[in-house]
Amino acid sequence: MKIENLVPMPFDEAVEAFQGLVPMTPYEFGLLEKEVKARAFTVSRISKMDIINDVYNALQDAINEGTPIREFQSQVEDIFTKKGWQDAESRSPYRIQNIYRTNIQKVFNAGRYKQQMDPDVLKNRPYWQYDAVNDSRTRPNHLAMDGIVKRYDDPFWETHYPPNGFQCRCSVRSRSARDLKRLNLEVSDYKPVINPDKGWDINPAKKLWEPDLDKYPDWLKEKYTRERGDNN
């Protein structure tokens, strides 16, 4: 097969994670506890649900098809134009890139989390290693956690499993005992004195797969159940 005929394969767990998000207005989003926000999708400064749903659908296509960021940006700009949305700040390239990068990293890490939590995987690879990108754009508090190794069930991951902020590019590698010996890695006794970005001190990946509906306000519980019914 020629290289140009190759197409990206969808990351099924990431697709499933994104389908579990509930689109809502920023006002509704602001009413939620941070643990529940992991299951919500909104677009800052956009008050019209039809626009939010259109952006949600564009992101869904991007995750399914591997749409590059510039193409997604063009699609969202077209959505704003067609719907007559003129707010300059919400239409800025930075805002649109933030929507793309933050949400894709969120569901891709959620997909990895689900794979890493598979019992057969945990049996062979029970250690997790924090992996920051290590370039000029990496935030100091994220860089400080790079390379930390802890068991999957360490409380550290309840607050520090990435993403740990908007546009966070960090991820987690699963490791076996053999990996630790081969790479000369040690399980860290690091205490989480270095915090994720404000509002991100939860494990959004875990929250995506383990919703506790009893903690949802009634209006969100109804909306979540309705949306999941539409998607399944």
pTM above 0.85, yes or no: no
State how far the Cα of 92 lies from the Cα of 73, in Å rounded to an integer: 10
Please state the domain count of the chain.
Answer: 1
Query: CA torsion sign, 43 to 47 to 49 to 51?
Result: negative
Residue 1 inside a domain? The answer is no
Residues in the chain with pLDDT values less than 70 = 1-10, 190-193, 210-217, 219-221, 223-232
Task: Give residue 106's domain range.
Answer: 6-231
Residue 143 located in a structural domain:
yes
Q: Report yes or no: 132 and 148 within 8 Å, Cβ to Cβ.
A: no
Strand partners, 41: 23
Q: Please count the other Cβ atoms lying within 10 Å of the Cβ belonging to residue 94.
A: 9
Position 222 scores a pLDDT of 74
Residue at 207 is within a domain: yes
Q: In Å, how far from its chain's centre is CA 169?
A: 10
Could you give the CA distance from residue 151 to residue 226 in angstroms, rounded to a whole number? 37
Main-chain dihedrals φ then ψ at residue 150, nearest 5 degrees: -145, 155
